[in-house]
Amino acid sequence: MVNVVCLDGGQDGSNCFILAGMPAIVIDPGLNPGRVVKSARELHINAVVFINTHCHYDHAGCVPELRKRLGGEYMIHDYDADAVENGVDERVLAGLFGSRPPVIPVSRRLADGDVIRAGGCSLEVVHTPGHTPGSICLYEPVSRSLFTGDTVFADGVGRTNFPGGSSEKLGESIRRLAGLKEKRGVEKVYPGHGPVSDGGCIDRAFDMFFG
């Protein structure tokens, strides 16, 4: 597993995670392109793959600017791809942040079970709808790390009251993550907001739905 650099999203943005290989993987770059560019320079990164765990603006808003400055492919699940490619604000929710939705051409539409290989590591795509139809988690099997976006946090789960959200589907996704943890192990959870946690947060989320 390559080094994971964690960039705290602060009050309005998402956490951003940089897997510092070559090319580097940037997960959920968020709203502040400067922090990503600064880290890329410090890490001597000159090739990047951008991945969004879902289409919401606080996770994807600065992707166009970063692609201008750093280049790189952009990946998102197929079910959220049309929202970002067409700037559908009902789905992207840029208006909540006083902005217009960006239009982001998608290099690769992801599907459940896909494997993203870059920078010396492999990330397995786990489709976890509920927060959005195309929400995903990314599993790194060597370190048993899970990048969860807004599906699971250290102390809770993602909201389901935005367009495309579904509490029923989120429960099914939590059940699936609990099965992943049981069968393969989850040692560290990197969520879209809040502190990094361990696999216990999946157990707590499961208890919220099924306990």
- Per residue in 140-165, pLDDT (tens digit) is 999 999 999 999 999 999 999 999 99
Tokens describing residue 166: 């579904």
Kindly report whether the global pTM for this prediction surpasses the value 0.95.
yes
pLDDT value of residue 11:
66
Burial of 60 (C-beta count, 10 Å sphere; 0-12/13-18/19+): buried
- Which ranges of the chain have pLDDT less than 50? none
Question: Would you call 6 helix, strand, or coil by DSSP?
Answer: strand
Tokens describing residue 164: 């495309």
Q: Per the omega criterion (within 30 degrees of 0), is the bond before 191 cis?
A: no
Residue with tokens 């239009």: 103
CA distance 134 to 20: 25
pLDDT value of residue 46:
84
pLDDT value of residue 1:
56
